[in-house]
Amino acid sequence: MSKFLKGTMILMIAAFITRILGFVNRIVVARFIGEEGVGLFMMAFPTLVLVITITQLGLPVAISKNVAEAEIKGDIRKVKKILVVSLATTLGLSIIFTPALILLAPYLTETLFTDERIYYPLVAIAPIIPIVAISSVIRGYFQGRQNMKPSAYSQVIEQIVRITLIAVLTKTFLPYGIEYAAAAAMVASVLGELASLLYLFTSFKIKKKFKMRKHFFSSMKNGKETFNELMSVALPTTGSRMIGSIAWFFEPIVVAHSLALAGVAATMATKQYGSLTGYALPLLFLPSFVTLSLSQSLVPAISEANSQKNFSLIEHRLQQALRFCLITGGISVVILYIYAKPLMQILYGNENGATFIMIMAPFFLFYYYQGPLQAVLQALNLARAAMINSLIGAVIKTGVIFVLASQPSFGINGAALGIVTGFMLVTMLHFVTIIKYIPLTIYVRDYLKIVIVIGISGAWGHYSYIHMVLHEGLLFRLLFGVVSTSLMYICLSIMLKLIVKSDLARIPFIRKFIV
C-alpha cells in the first residue's frame, strides 16, 4: 500500500471514530438542552470559526505543502524555520483576537443576532482560539511528513474528553438557564481541544528531528523569506476559507432576520435553526469523514507529484479520491434519504430534522466531492481560483437563503435550499477549474451506473423497511433496512464494476481472502 493510501486509511478510520464520537456528543447535547439550546450553540459557533480562520491565516495547508517539499530535499533547517514562523504568526494573532471576541460579544449579540442569550456561548468558547492555533501548526507539520497517526489520535482524544465532560457540565448548569447550559457545552469543547493539543505536543516533542527552542528567535528574525513562501499559499487559501467562514458567520444572522420577516418569533427561529444545523446537518456531514481524510492526504501527495511534474500521478490520485467519494457518498445519500425519520427518532427522540435531511440529502453528493477538489486546487497553487469559486458560491447561497427564508411559504426550508445551492455551485466551479489545468478523464458511464445503483438500492431499502419487518421495534427495523440496503448497494456496485477487485484488495482485513 502506498504512503498516500496508508495515510488516507489511517485518517479515514480516525475520522470515522471521531465523527461517531462527535455524534454521541450531539445526541447528549440535544437530549440535555434541546433544540433551543442547540440553536444557541450553533448560532455562536460560526463566529468562533471566523475568528479561528483569521488566526490560522490558512497556514495549516501551507505548512503541510512546504514541509512535504522540504522533506523531499532533506532540508531539516527549512522545516524548523517553517514551524517557528508559523507558531509566531498564529500565536501573535490569537493574542489579539481572543480578547477581541470577548470584548465584542455584547455588541454582536445586541446588534447582529436576534437572540441576546448567544452572548454566553460566545464568551465561553473564546479560550479555544490559541489552543487551536498551536495544534493546527503541529497537525500541518505531521501531515506534511505524511504521518497521519498523531493527527488521527488527537481527534479521537478530543472527542472522548469532550463527551465525558459535556454531559456533566450541561446537566450542572441547566438549572441556571438554557444559555448557561449551551455555554457549558462550549467549555467542554475547549477542554477537549486542550487535551488534543497536549497529545499532539507530546508526539511532536518525541518525533521531531531538531530542537525548537535552540535559536528560536533568530530563526523567527531571519524567516522573512519563509514567511513569504508560506503566505503565497496561505493567503489565497485563507481567502477561500475566509469567504466560507464569513458566509457561515452571516448565515445564522441572515436566517434569523429572514425568518423574522416571514413572521417567525426569535425563540422559534433559534429552535428551527438548531434543528437544521444541530440535528440534520451533522447527520448529513457524517459521511464526509471520507472527504476529510482524502483532502488531508491529497495536499502533500499532490504537492509532491506536482513538484516532480508528474501529471499522470496527479490525475491517478485525484481519480482514486473521486471514486472513493462517489461510492461512499452514494450509499450515504440512499440511507439518509430513505431512513431520515427513524434516524431522527432514535438519535434525538423526535423527527424534527427529518424534513431537512430529505430536502438536502440528494444534493450532498456534490458536497462529498468538494473537499478533494479543493485540496487539489491548493496543492496545484490554484488556491486563488478556489477562493473566487468559494466567493461566488457564498454570495449565491446567502442570496438564496434571504430570498426564500423570508417567504412564509418556505421559511426555514429556504435556508436548507440555500445551503445546498451554495455547495453545489462551488463543487461544479472547482471541477471546471481543475479540468482547465490538468488532463482529467470524466467517466460518464460510472456516473450513470451510480444513478442506477442509487435508484434500485433506494427502492429496495424503502420496500424492506415498510413491508418486511412490520411487527418489530423501530431500532430493529432501522438496522435491518440499513444492512439490507447496504448489501444491495454493494452487490450492485460490484456487478456494475463500480467496485473492482483491486479496490477490495486495498482493505487490510479483506485483502487476505482475495489474494
Most confident of 249-263, 395-409, 498-512: 395-409
Same domain, 396 and 316: yes
Whether the pLDDT of residue 322 is over 50: the answer is yes
Q: What is the mean pLDDT of residues 391-411?
A: 92
Place of cell 479555544: 128
Contact 279, 30 (CB under 8 A): yes
Q: What does the pLDDT read at residue 373?
A: 87
Residue (of 207, 163, 206, 154) closest to 185 by Cα position = 163
- Residue that is last in its domain, among 416, 442, 468: 442
Same domain, 412 and 447: no
Same domain, 406 and 478: no
Same domain, 433 and 291: yes
Same domain, 391 and 476: no
Same domain, 257 and 292: yes
Which residue did the predictor score with more confidence, 504 or 332?
A: 332
Residue 113: all three cell numbers together: 443576532
Q: What does the pLDDT read at residue 355?
A: 92
Contact 336, 357 (CB under 8 A): yes
CA distance 442 to 5: 22
Q: How many residues does the chain have?
A: 515
CB count, 10 Å around CB of 369?
22
- Residue that is last in its domain, among 442, 472, 507: 442
First and final C-alpha spacing in the chain: 14
Range of 503's domain?
443-515
Same domain, 434 and 456: no
- Tell me the H-state helices in 145-177: 149-173
Share of the chain above pLDDT 90, in %: 17
- Residue that is last in its domain, among 409, 442, 475: 442
The number of distinct structural domains making up the chain is 2
C-alpha pair distances (Å), 468 with each of 30, 104, 485, 492:
32, 57, 13, 21
* DSSP states of 288-313: GHHHHHHHHHHHHHHHHHHHTT-HHH
Same domain, 251 and 117: yes
Which residue did the predictor score with more confidence, 18 or 348?
A: 348
In 12-96 the beta strands, taken as DSSP E runs, fall at none
Share of the chain above pLDDT 70, in %: 89
Same domain, 142 and 270: yes
Q: Residue 34: left if φ>0, alpha if ψ -120 to 50, beta else—which one?
A: left
Same domain, 510 and 435: no
Same domain, 481 and 398: no
Same domain, 436 and 447: no
